Chain A
Amino acid sequence: MKTMTYNYKRVYVWEFAVRFFHWLTVLSLIVLIVTGFIIANPPSLNLNVEAAKSYWFGYVRLIHFTFAYILIANLLFRIYWAFAGNQFANWRNFIPYTKKHWQNIFYVLKVDIFLQKDKEHKVENISIGHNALAAFSYLIMTLFFLLQVATGLALKADTSDWWFPKMFHWVIPLFGGDIATRYVHHILTWLFMAFVVIHVYLVLYHDYIEARGEASAMISGFKFVRAERIKQNIRSFVNKVKKQMKDGNIKGNIENDPE
């Protein structure tokens, strides 16, 4: 074993839609957090300008609201994709409703979070898409995202003419007024920032320890998976190719039949 690395195969894990969602979320999050903090505590700029000639804070709010709507649309699209996408994008990954999910959660907790020795070295324990713990954390974050969206739209509702933000007006009495609603909105921002730190660190950790393209997967879409995990059914592959040749789709011939 010491003479070579394992054989790896490239597997298309993150489809374009998933990667697009991911990076658009990154962009919206950065813009929303920066503008959000400016709105919470704006710097005093242009103190010598007439009020009529300046509108920069108005624009900051406009950018905040615009990216909030982008984030919402993006989130709705991802929910759709949880039903339309491939097996790694599917909603089943995110809800730990089977024994397998929980086994993987405990495995990840033991081996990756508490850094215990993985004595058995079962290759199936290494997740190809999300590991069950990460996927579950994304579900929780999605719920917090929805709460952030609901509080934000509720605060917006009174100054909006659109039915969509107005739909969330009930959130204000739920929290007992604008003050409390704003607190929730403000505190959740810090939660998202903490999540980003942990998320990015764990991606880098997996990339570093496992060395199979964890980080770059969100750019290219590919992850490297041990060859023995992919079906090596050569007979059926050969038959498929032979049929294609017979139909005239592929030209050439197979000289050395593997069997």
Chain B
Amino acid sequence: MKNELQNEETFYESIIRKGYSRRSFLKFATYMAAFMGLENSMVGQLVKTMETKKRIPVIWEHFQECTGCSESFIKSDHPLVADVILDTISLDYTDTLMAAAGHQSEAAKQASMKANYGKYILIVEGAIPTKNDGVYCTIAGRTALEIIKESAEGAAAIITFGSCSSWGGVQAAYPNPTGSVPVDAIIKDKPIIKVPGCPPISEVMTGVVLYYAMFGRIPDLDDEGRPKQFYGKRVHDSCYRRPYFDAGLYAESFDSEEAKKGYCLYKLGCRGPVTYNACGTVGWNGGLGFPIKSGHPCIGCSENKFWDNGPFYKRLENIPGMGIEATADEIGKIVLGAAAGGAAVHAIAANIFKKKEIDENREMGKINEQNLNE
């Protein structure tokens, strides 16, 4: 009953009921507009939407995951952000955070899915194992495969939090013993917003949820299904160490003077140049920093198959799917060596097998040399 009542509240009413002032509310609206990558002039529209729009029901499924994404989500630095997100969406089911347990929680989910059929957002955290009918991940006695199909059916949109539900993540890394797949490998008929990262930045997660809640539509997505406003740029292109890259100043090891000086980590395997994320702009822990700022190269945690593209501290060397020592350059050297060796062997063989032809040419040429006029 209480749940139904809260569903009738607008975002604004809920915030005021929580005891925040209108001033705080306006600050929050401005803050979120910035997070969502909106223009200044959109703040007013955002405020109006929050004042009038009803809370949106959310079902949050947890499959093969480490709950790191939930951890990241609830640690949005701005207390208001976390509060508002957790209070103003109607988070009807999340087995990690909800007070109910066991049959009660499952019943709450079923009730919400029935009442909000076609309207709720489905958030998925974790990959879905498919091998042996998906027995490697079961919740309440049912497989993840079964659950995702059921909960996706009535969803208005699906948001995949983290690299596992977006790409497959560590479960799907070689040799992928449980046959794990991302959500978009199973659900084809729903809009899916991928929010990859291991974990994703909390403000990015809240930003995406809020965008949908505010505007009732999914944000602009890139070719791979990620929201453009957060995944439109490479970490490399928003990195504060970029001038060192262009100047050719690199740290060669972690204990070097260059590393201390904050030189570019490109040669220590930084995946910034191939990773799309908002780390360089939004930052982590309330914008305090991000891995590169702390002296650690980016490992590309929001990229597809980043686990298989190791080792992390080397510049993209190993060929995925091949042996540990099979770097592209080593194979290249073998191919080049084989070509050169083959040419050398062929040259020797040609001198033997084509001897008659060569001798004949030379003989005739010699005769002509003897018969030159003067």
Contact = CB atoms under 8 A, between A and B. Distances in A.
Nearest to B367: A3
B4 interface: no
B233 A44 contact: no
Contacts of B338: 194
**Interface core residue of A54, A60, A113 (most chain B CB under 10 Å):** A54
A159 interface: yes
B364 to A, nearest CB: 4
A49 B233 contact: no
A2 B319 contact: no
Contacts of B303: 177-179
Contact of B354 (A115, A159, A172, A191): A115
Given A45-B248, A178-B275, A190-B331, A205 B309 contact: no
B170 to A, nearest CB: 16
Contact of A169 (B223, B266, B319, B349): B223
Interface in A32-67: 40-42, 44-47, 49, 51-58, 60-61
A197 B275 contact: no
A203 B73 CA distance: 64
**Interface core residue of B248, B316, B365, B368 (most chain A CB under 10 Å):** B248
**Interface core residue of A117, A178, A211 (most chain B CB under 10 Å):** A178
Interface in A159-184: 159, 169-170, 172-173, 176-180, 182-183
B367 A4 contact: yes
A194 B334 CA distance: 10
A183 B322 CA distance: 13
A170 to B, nearest CB: 7
A197 B336 contact: yes
**Interface core residue of B246, B353, B357 (most chain A CB under 10 Å):** B246
A102 interface: no
B300 interface: yes
B336 A187 contact: no
Given A179-B309, A183-B320, A54 B274 contact: no
A125 B20 CA distance: 90
Interface in A172-220: 172-173, 176-180, 182-183, 186-187, 189-191, 193-194, 197-198, 201, 205, 208-209, 211
Given A158-B234, A187-B328, A190-B332, A56 B343 contact: no
B267 A57 contact: no
A42 B350 contact: no
B350 A190 contact: no
Given A42-B266, A190-B336, A201-B343, A115 B350 contact: yes
Interface residues on A, range: 35 or more
A209 B346 CA distance: 12
A178 B258 CA distance: 28
A194 B335 contact: yes
Contacts of A179: 271, 274, 300, 303-306, 309, 316
A183 B249 contact: no
B152 to A, nearest CB: 22
B126 to A, nearest CB: 20
**Interface core residue of B266, B315, B319, B328 (most chain A CB under 10 Å):** B328
Given A158-B237, A173-B224, A194 B339 contact: yes
A61 B237 CA distance: 14
Contact of A158 (B233, B335, B365): B233
A205 B249 contact: no
A52 B243 contact: yes
B340 interface: yes
A255 B51 CA distance: 109
B363 interface: yes
Given A5-B361, A56-B247, 4 more contacts: A177-B224, A179-B274, A186-B328, A209-B357
10 contacts: A5-B368, A54-B248, A57-B248, A115-B350, A173-B223, A177-B274, A183-B328, A190-B331, A193-B336, A205-B350
Interface of B: 223-224, 232-234, 237, 243-250, 252, 258, 266-267, 271, 273-276, 300, 303-306, 309, 315-316, 319-320, 328-329, 331-333, 335-336, 338-340, 342-343, 346-347, 349-350, 353-354, 357-358, 361, 363-365, 367-368
Counting from the closest, the 4 A-B pairs by CB-CB distance are A190-B332, A178-B274, A57-B248, A201-B343
